Structure 1
Amino acid sequence: MFEKQSSVTSVPAPTQEILINMDGTTVQILSTEGFSLYGFKAVQSTQQGGMPLVWFTREEFSPVTHLEWTSSMAAYTSFDDIAARRRVRADFSADIACGQVLHVTDNGIGEVFHGNAPHAVSIRNMTKDRFTCGISEKVHGEMLPICAFPLHGVSMEVIAPIQKVLLVFTNERLSPGTAITALRNQSVLVDLSSVNQRQLIYHIDKGWSWDRGSWASCHPPNSNLVPVLIEVPSQVSGACGVARSLVGSGVQALL
């Protein structure tokens, strides 16, 4: 039923970027008061037990701060439990693309096969052991986890990457891979579904702003970021195609 995928043979992932414009005073205050910039990447899933993870951190800023990444992906498994403010590390990782499935065997190790969910990544547990699983995406040249979900024995999770990035400046101390439900500063969600570049303005006292298009939205301090970064299935634009319900098709065929 499944054909082994020896390597990921997809179209090269496009580079996407966000430019953050700041005045000199803002840049100085961010540096002297110990602020860091944290980035998160959104996904779609029907699993309600997941959490977003800190994707990347940035501690050096300039009047035009440049963030760049590609949508190259990996599927991972971990023995770490999922809990707010706890870090999830990938114990096993394999390059993967939308439409493929990672078959997880003993000790969380697995192989990648062709799957039947064309717009999502599937992770199928062939054992009776429980793991944590998720997908990673490459940012600043490093493959880092963006989400974490429970992977119960003899079950499967289907996760669709979507081109939305959430950014926040805060002096909280967080490491990449830390599970987050809320942050104490204002954040901004940026939609790059239809373009490969967006520009933002950040002011230390006024917060985030942009050209007032509908492609970005601000979220107040202490907002619940889980539903913002883990969307339920709906007609949204994803990394691997046009607007659609990303995780719905192919799920039953894989079970």
Structure 2
Amino acid sequence: MPVSTSFEITITMSDDTTNRLVDEGFYLYGFKAVNSSTGGGKPLVWFVTDDYATSTNITWHDEYQAYTSRREIIPQGTISGINSYDIALGQTLTVDNISGTGTVGGSPGSSRRITVDNETTRPFTSGIAQLNHVAAGQSAKATPLAAFPLHGRNLDFFTPVEKVLLMFATAVIETSTVVEQAFGPGLLVDLTGVAQRDVTYDVDHGWGPDHAQLDDARRLPDPAHAPADPAGQVAADPRVIRYITIGAPGRAHPTRSVAWRRARAAVRLRQQWKGTIPCP
């Protein structure tokens, strides 16, 4: 079995920002990127917590589960009732029962992708889940990253991408819930080729990097930015952090310029992302 790799994002905030976020009932949300060979997928809330502080560490490992569910993918629906199995990159979950259960086989580390093979004629929802650890004292748990249709007698291929979208919002949404439009200003953090990133957040000025490169807000992320090649490899992104501020949480937008409309449109988490993470 390949050696596990750990990743970490540290969010730094001032006392004033932390106090205001807590007092006003904000939650910290995270979404995790994944590429798929199948269209029609939807992003899911990877984690949500109100247990943040002036310094908050988000950690995860490249340890995965493949899952199936009989729940349909609907807006704001929750993917529950899942059959999940520990799986490594290069392995295949073969679904051989109409309940969605199956077995995992194949050589770990033989490729950069995970396969779910539906040998039945019943359609399912499928995807991969990944361990994460956000709240202090909380044990790491695997939460689905996205939900994709898995048709009968078909295969889905999944390639994890080390990019995480962070946002603060007052909306109360559970993990594993389908989200098609962002509900707060977000920061897409790219950990391709690195194990750790430091970022900052200010309640009035939004997200920022800590000694990292900022993109111009008009250079919006391409939803299909990290395509998987036929071998399942993810194209590397030379940019460190994609950053765009839609406005401070809970604030009204006094003017809606062309740049603002472009930014807002880019935040919509639609089907066009073709299996990649919902990007701000």
User: Per the shorter chain, which TM-score range?
Assistant: 0.7 to 0.9
Letter in 2 for 1:230: G
Aligned match for 1:215, one of 240, 250, 262: 240
Alignment of 1:1-255 (within 5 A): 10-106=1-97, 107-114=99-106, 118-140=111-133, 141-210=140-209, 211-213=211-213, 214-219=239-244, 221=246, 222=264, 223-226=267-270, 230-231=275-276
In structure 1, what is the Cα distance between the partners aligned to 2:45 and 2:111? 26
* RMSD between aligned residues: 1.9
Q: What is the total number of aligned residue pairs between the two structures? A: 223
Q: Give me the TM-score of the superposition, normalised by structure 1.
A: 0.82
Return the offset for 1:91. 1.8
Return the offset for 1:216. 1.1
- The answer to whether the 8 Å contact 1:40/1:166 transfers is yes
DSSP-derived class of the 2:75 partner: coil
In structure 2, what is the Cα distance between the partners aligned to 1:207 and 1:161? 27
DSSP-derived class of the 1:136 partner: strand
Higher strand residue share: 1
Q: Give me the TM-score of the superposition, normalised by structure 2.
A: 0.75
Return the offset for 1:231. 3.1
Q: Percent identity?
A: 34
- The answer to whether the 8 Å contact 1:96/1:112 transfers is yes
Residue in structure 1 matched with residue 252 of structure 2 by the alignment: none
Return the offset for 1:218. 2.5
Q: Bigger CA drift: 88-97 or 149-158?
A: 88-97
Unaligned runs of 5+ in 1: 1-9, 233-255
The structure-2 alpha-carbon separation of the partners of 1:23 and 1:229, relative to structure 1 and needing over 3 Å to count, comes to farther
DSSP-derived class of the 1:230 partner: coil
DSSP-derived class of the 2:62 partner: strand
Return the offset for 1:52. 1.0
Deviation string 1:28-55 (CA, Å, 9 cap, x unpaired) is 1110111000111101123220011101
Return the offset for 1:225. 3.0
Return the offset for 1:200. 0.3
